[in-house]
Amino acid sequence: MEQIFSKLNFLTNGEGLTDITDDLNLFIQKSNFHSGIFSLTLLHTSCSLTINENADPNVLKDLENFMKSIVPYNCYESLSKDRETVYYEHSQEGEDDMPAHIKTALNNTNLSLSFQKGKIVLGTWQAIYLWEHRFNPKERSISVHIIGEKSSSSYNNE
């Protein structure tokens, strides 16, 4: 067993989900590891990592709509009987600031994936997404860490 640490950077398009599965697999293959654990930590608190459907773009649209509806900008209504309106106290960076932190808390910052033959083990319909919760495009970094076994012969990295 050996380990390797690195960092991958992604430029998001503002609010929405970006499929990063291929980039993650490429990193594994370039690192020349065959099989092991691939641990991801997204180094931010206003975007998240999620695994979801990879086929119909409407799934991503519905996911995005749901998150926006349950964590609205500016203020939201409580689900308690009195339906009080709650305002965010933290809003230094704008109306998308605090909702982004909440969406992150409802989702994941940290994934510990398995890989075999240089490829993350996923179901047929699964992809790994970087989910941007801020309005504007941002550069986002993921700490990547492999513990596993190296390939006896190199992969082609073209």
**Interacting positions 118-157 with a second copy (CB under 8 A):** 121-126, 141, 143, 145, 147-149
Q: Examine residue 110 and tell whether it contacts a second copy (CB under 8 A).
A: yes
Q: What is the CA radius of gyration of the chain?
A: 18
Q: Examine residue 8 and tell whether it contacts a second copy (CB under 8 A).
A: no
- In angstroms, give the least distance from the CB of 88 to a second copy: 5
Q: How far is CA 6 from CA 3, 13, 27, in A?
A: 10, 23, 9
Q: How far is CA 26 from CA 9, 12, 33, 47, 129, in A?
A: 13, 19, 11, 22, 15
Q: Examine residue 76 and tell whether it contacts a second copy (CB under 8 A).
A: yes
Q: Examine residue 11 and tell whether it contacts a second copy (CB under 8 A).
A: no
Q: Examine residue 31 and tell whether it contacts a second copy (CB under 8 A).
A: no
- In angstroms, give the least distance from the CB of 19 to a second copy: 13
Q: Which is nearer to a second copy, 22 or 56 (CB)?
A: 56
Q: Examine residue 89 and tell whether it contacts a second copy (CB under 8 A).
A: yes
Considering only residues 34-73, where is the footprint of a second copy by CB under 8 A? 35-37, 39, 41-45, 50-53, 56, 58-59, 61-63, 65-66, 68-73
Piece of 8-16, 21-29, 107-115, 150-158 that binds a second copy (CB under 8 A): 107-115
